[in-house]
Structure 1
């Protein structure tokens, strides 16, 4: 159990690094190494069944963190390899919480692969776990993720229904109950972010902007990656409503060290749309040149 406690502390560090920096290869590689170290401990024949279960759960958590970092960084081939391993390890652990996490990340991977019905199928597996039935916080997160996937399929009614279920479950959840470190990110602010992403997928730009403002008002300061995501989504929502100056202000608030992974891809899409909608705006030309030069420096 001392090994379990030591590795659990390292998992907290991995989660915190991802919250700050997003899906860097450094986070992915470190999570991979820790998963291998954890599995090496399984080879000791003296470990009790309880310790083995904890070790499998931790190995699945590290591998799932590697999968998430790869997804966030756009390294989808690597993410698929991590997914296969994490699903196996989560099954061996018999831990419903880590099984929920793995299938939630699998849904995100399928979404980024454009396999939206597979993403919904992964949601179904997550919702079938006992932790979904026992803890309303997990239920809320599952419903919020499902809203995003319904948004990708342009099902407006299902998006609103899922967000409503997520909000109802969150209102019933005990935010102070003991949970794994990787669930600490989920609260009202995260529900607002997922709602923002779902409405953006639908093209409901006014609703998307409203969720962005609520997310930024509630977001904890240590969740730097999510703050950058909220700003780039808000910039796009404002741009689509014709508020070019406000959109540029939101985009400028994103630190340059966050211009990678999902944030970087969304920023590129924003720039493409910006130049299409306001090609003669001098501020737009200045911003476009600034971002082009910044990418050359990087």
Structure 2
């Protein structure tokens, strides 16, 4: 009896020693975080090429979910967990922006709420700024300037604005756009000057998150000034900032180039340069004109204004023929 117990015990011990240690928890580290951050950079690049697409939004949501699943897949330090929440918040903020850019505002609000909760858990000032700054743009686009200003004020109240003037500059640039939407030319001009001054104070060599480096520069500041002066119906100043923006745009900013080109066309048209404005509008890349919701809407509005200003002109005929051949409708 004792011998059987002894043999059984030895056998059990040997089997236990030979068995793989499958119960040991996986260790989640900064390598996992860096892998997610690389995926985030890819989402940003895709957004600047295409923008507003539902597949970009869905991809960003899936990546946010995968960042959260990592939280439950093993052990990690508090620092790593904070970074994982930050990655999830960043992906959700990109989903939010894709929905805003695609005019899916109800969905964008849901993404915003998810992103805000994740950013709080991450304690990441930069991503909090991005989310609230996106919220200000969203509310401006849906015609709620008071909420746009309130959201932008939250972004501007974060201490990262005092630490890095580039964030302060972006906050002021977004404030400028809200002033323009509210019909306030004095506030618009003042905010532009302050945003430009803050940009000049910013250290060009300072570390900044990939999303900020990818889009905010002199071209974007002039793009927001262009939007502001279009809202104010100051067509001459709008045209000036459009040319400045186009001259400074980096090659990867394809969506921004399309939007700026349509805005330039509108500024030219409203000043009576009918042929020039039509030629500018026709120069917008077909992919942007047919696949980007915001660009398509702006081009449709351009066609509507052309029909009001010069319905029987050669330019109008050229435009309608171009619209039919490009996307099958008289825009």
TM superposition score normalised by structure 2: 0.88
Of 77, 80, 84, the match for 2:113 = 84
Q: Which of 195, 211, 217 is matched with 1:166 structurally?
A: 195
Aligned to 2:170: 141
CA contact (8 A) 2:282 2:322 kept: no
Q: Displacement of 1:45 after TM fit?
A: 5.3
Task: State the Cα deviation string for residues 189-240 of structure 1 (Å, max 9, x = none).
Answer: 1111011001111111000000000111111111000000110000000000
Q: Within the alignment, does 1:224 sit opposite 2:254 as a pair?
A: yes
Please point out which of 258, 266, 276 is paired with 2:288: 258
Structure 1 stretch displaced more, 36-45 or 74-83: 36-45
Superposed displacement of residue 292, structure 1: 3.5
**Displacement after TM superposition at 1:44 (Å):** 3.8
Does 2:85 correspond to 1:53?
no
After superposing on structure 2, the runs of 4+ consecutive aligned residues of structure 1 that deviate more than 3 Å are: none
Partner of 2:264: 234
Residue 243 of structure 1: aligned partner: 273
How far apart, CA to CA, are the structure 1 residues paired with 2:146 and 2:178? 8
The aligned runs of 1:1-298 (5 Å cut-off) are 1-44=30-73, 46-184=75-213, 185-259=215-289, 260-296=292-328
Q: Which residues of structure 1 form unaligned runs of 5+?
A: none
Structure 2: gaps spanning 5 or more residues: 1-29
Match of 1:279, SS?
Answer: coil
Task: Name the larger-Rg structure.
Answer: 2
Aligned equivalents of 2:116 and 2:60: distance in 1? 16
